[in-house]
């Protein structure tokens, strides 16, 4: 059976070799005649998985020694709450950019904990651009931004100078491009874009920023709890962490983040080039802020919609329909999506033009 060209926004495509190895582990892990998902999370084989996954994160992102790496649960949505619990002082204030649905949800959770100042807001144009030119005040406890917006197809190409703690939700573009972790105090990312299946969340946190809020933090929401227990305060999501480890190993063997960044740029250049060339299509996001992970675009002639939908479906393309907030189409091109799949989509777009 041929594999479809999977442009789904998440859960998303994973490398075929990772899926094959993971499927074998579900039946028989480490040749122990036990499934990966039925062994103890405190057994030596899984402790090694956890250690390897953490080590790969540190290696691929060049994480400084003063940071802890955690694999938690609850997705980025739980991090929306954990961040203010751990960083917002009693009577303090935080600052956020509002660049899309997930940023808006993060802001709502922070507002339940204290005062929030919105520094950049692109809701006036349906989040089709990244706000710029704002100055982060020195009297806020932390500044929070979202690096890539899956629904609207925008991405921060540069990060602002931050005189306070810098927090970033990198759920949909982590490991896709080089970043300087030392410029951030806390990074979090759901696994289900570039790392693994849904079910675990990566957190990279600078140790010295914790424990200074003066508030009582529920045990499960305290980053220090999970640091002290090596991400095993409660039973960790064994399978998603294992698949994340395999995916990070795949990325390392490919040449690391620097290598995949070049491939991702090739994919983005190919698709955006066709969108800009072909009179039947137009991009939904501001050109300067276009995401390399999630390409949002529209048909200029709606009478072609039925024909185009039939053509890309017949070409074996999956997950191309745009989010209802934007409409049109969204091609999510995460690390594991091959350049060949993007070429198939571009070829379909070219055929539509001449039909």
Count of residues in the chain: 355
Closest CA to 285 of 120, 159, 100, 152: 152
Per the CB < 8 A criterion, the answer to whether 94 and 108 are in contact is no
List 141, 173, 193, 222, catalytic entry: 193
- H-assigned helices in the chain: 16-27, 44-61, 75-87, 101-111, 223-228, 238-254, 256-277, 305-314, 339-354
Give burial (CB, 10 Å; 0-12/13-18/19+) of 192.
buried
DSSP at 88: P
Q: What is the DSSP string of 11-37?
A: S----HHHHHHHHHHHH-STTSSS-GG
User: Is 193 annotated as catalytic?
Assistant: yes
Distance CA 71, CA 66 (A): 17
Per the CB < 8 A criterion, the answer to whether 69 and 51 are in contact is no
Encode 29-58: b = buried (16+ Cβ within 10 Å), e = exposed: beeeebebeebebeeeebeebbebbbebbb
Distance CA 308, CA 328 (A): 11
Distance CA 117, CA 107 (A): 9
* Contacts for 35 with CB less than 8 Å, ≥ 6 apart: 25, 26, 27, 28, 29
List 169, 185, 222, 289, catalytic entry: 169
Catalytic residue annotation: 102, 169, 193
């Amino acid at each position: 059976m041929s594999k479809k060209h999977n442009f789904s926004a998440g859960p998303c495509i994973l490398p075929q070799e990772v899926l094959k190895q993971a499927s074998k582990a579900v039946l028989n892990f480490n040749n122990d005649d036990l499934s990966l998902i039925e062994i103890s999370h405190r057994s030596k084989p899984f402790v090694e998985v956890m250690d390897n996954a953490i080590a790969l994160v540190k290696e691929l992102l060049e994480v400084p020694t003063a940071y802890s790496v955690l694999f938690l649960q609850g997705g980025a949505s739980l991090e929306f709450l954990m961040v203010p619990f751990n960083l917002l002082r009693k009577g303090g204030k935080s600052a956020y950019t509002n660049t899309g649905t997930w940023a808006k949800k993060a802001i709502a959770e922070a507002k339940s904990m204290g005062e929030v100042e919105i520094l950049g807001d692109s809701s006036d144009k349906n989040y089709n651009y990244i706000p710029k030119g704002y100055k982060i005040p020195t009297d806020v406890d932390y500044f929070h931004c979202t690096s890539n917006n899956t629904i609207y197809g925008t991405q921060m190409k540069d990060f602002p100078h931050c005189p306070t703690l810098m927090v970033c939700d990198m759920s949909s573009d982590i490991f896709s491009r080089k970043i300087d972790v030392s410029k951030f105090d806390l990074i979090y990312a759901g696994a289900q874009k570039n790392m693994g299946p849904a079910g675990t969340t990566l957190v990279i946190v600078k140790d010295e920023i914790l424990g200074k809020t003066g508030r009582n933090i529920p045990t499960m929401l305290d980053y220090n709890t999970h640091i002290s227990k090596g991400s095993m305060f409660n039973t960790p999501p064994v399978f998603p962490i294992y698949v994340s480890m395999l995916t990070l190993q795949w990325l390392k063997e490919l040449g690391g983040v620097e290598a995949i960044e070049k491939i991702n740029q090739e994919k983005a250049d190919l698709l955006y080039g066709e969108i800009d060339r072909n009179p039947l299509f137009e991009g939904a996001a501001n050109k300067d802020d276009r995401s390399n992970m999630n390409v949002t675009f529209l048909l200029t002639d709606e009478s072609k919609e039925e024909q185009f939908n039939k053509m890309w479906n017949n070409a074996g393309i999956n997950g191309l329909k745009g989010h209802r907030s934007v409409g049109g189409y969204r091609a999510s091109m995460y690390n594991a999506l091959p350049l060949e799949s993007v070429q198939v989509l571009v070829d379909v777009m070219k055929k539509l033009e001449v039909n």
